[in-house]
Amino acid sequence: MDVKDIKPDEVLDCVGLACPMPIFKTANRIKEMQPGQVLEVQSDDDGIKKDMPAWCNKTGHEFLGLEQQGEEYRVFVRKK
């Protein structure tokens, strides 16, 4: 699946926040979501390229992919 085809259930804006805040905010938001729902996290911290897949691997959520648009990243996570 191409990330361009993903329709997120919720969008979390973390632009301007440095590590570890995007992961911290993702963890809090995903707790409020239903299993199977998809969260799009927007960030301009390039650490998210490594941090989000690692966090998903540790927590069991599914890392669906990442799209870079200029200085910003869109990361997609499906709640387990």
User: Residues with catalytic annotation?
Assistant: 19
The torsion angle over the Cα atoms of residues 14, 48, 24 and 78, rounded to 10 degrees, is: 90
33/79 Cα distance (integer angstroms): 7
C-alpha–C-alpha distance, residues 41 and 14, integer Å: 7
